[in-house]
Amino acid sequence: AQKVTQAQTEISVVEKEDVTLDCVYETRDTTYYLFWYKQPPSGELVFLIRRNSFDEQNEISGRYSWNFQKSTSSFNFTITASQVVDSAVYFCALSGGGADGLTFGKGTHLIIQP
Amino acid sequence: SQTIHQWPATLVQPVGSPLSLECTVEGTSNPNLYWYRQAAGRGLQLLFYSVGIGQISSEVPQNLSASRPQDRQFILSSKKLLLSDSGFYLCAWTENGNTEAFFGQGTRLTVV
């Protein structure tokens, strides 16, 4: 069975600070896919990134960066110079590549204070 | 480009009443379709998924059902709602299991 753990229930930082959201996963699949989604107060889930299990390169997109480490089964998300608009719930998710949907973590509520 | 529509946005229903939530996808063919529920506390739970017309897989036994009458239409139903059915329902689609899922705007259901 697959499992995604986001141990940080809520994080609160002051604007412009860097913040890292942790994600640890469990799977028996040799090929799998990891995702991050953002859920603003409006409720819609916004796709941020997908990472394949065979590609361990870290990725940077503007102020966002992702650190994928198979050795520790982690896929952490860092926001540099956080902004108030980054306030949201962030979900990490896992797929084995089949059609049977994503396994989500419980989410981390990120609060950026001005 | 592909878009996903889900309605209604909010719904307040009495216990024992029926439910019908609809989701449609535009701009793609033969998508995988999904219904998730997010109860208070934020976790997302997969309820149903479908890989084609008339093909429904259920992940959690409950008093809800799903149907896919057309390629890009996915419907979530109940004959009699329970208080525990309250939550935020999200429809999603993917091209296949390897790709990211795109979500609708969600329906906030309150059963009273």
The residues, ordered by sequence, that sit 6+ positions from A23 with a Cβ below 8 Å of its Cβ are A4, A5, A6, A34, A36, A74, A75, A76, A77, A92, A105
pLDDT band at A80 (very low <50, low <70, confident <90, very high): very high
CA-based nearest residue in chain B for residue A106: B43
Out of A27-36, A86-95, B11-20, B55-64, which region has the weakest mean confidence (pLDDT)?
B55-64
Place of tokens 């033969």: B30
pLDDT score for A32: 94
Residue A56 pLDDT greater than 90, yes or no: no
Average pLDDT over residues A52-76: 93
Residue B19 pLDDT greater than 90, yes or no: yes
Task: Indicate which of A39, A42, A49, A94 best probes the interface with B, i.e. most B CBs within 10 Å of its own CB.
Answer: A39
Residue B61 pLDDT greater than 70, yes or no: no
pLDDT score for B42: 65
CB atoms within 10 A of CB A85: 9
Are A101 and B100 a contacting pair at CB < 8 A? no
Are B104 and A44 a contacting pair at CB < 8 A? yes
Percentage of chain B beyond pLDDT 70 is: 97
Average pLDDT over residues B41-51: 88
Compute the count of residue pairs across chains A and B with CB atoms less than 8 Å apart: 62
Average pLDDT over residues A62-78: 96
Question: How many Cα neighbours within 13 Å face the side chain of A20?
Answer: 9
pLDDT score for A13: 97
- Please state, in angstroms and rounded to a whole number, the distance separating the CA atoms of residues B99 and A98: 10
Q: Which residues pair with A108 in a beta bridge?
A: A90
Residue in A45, A95, A106 closest to B103 by CB: A45
Supply the mean pLDDT for chain B.
93
Task: Please report which helix (H) or strand (E) contains residue B22, including its range.
Answer: strand B19-26
pLDDT band at B89 (very low <50, low <70, confident <90, very high): very high
Distance of CA B67 to the CA centre of its chain: 10
In degrees and rounded to multiples of 5, residue A86 shows phi and psi of: -80, -10
Place of tokens 């089949």: A98
- Please state, in angstroms and rounded to a whole number, the distance separating the CA atoms of residues A36 and B77: 29
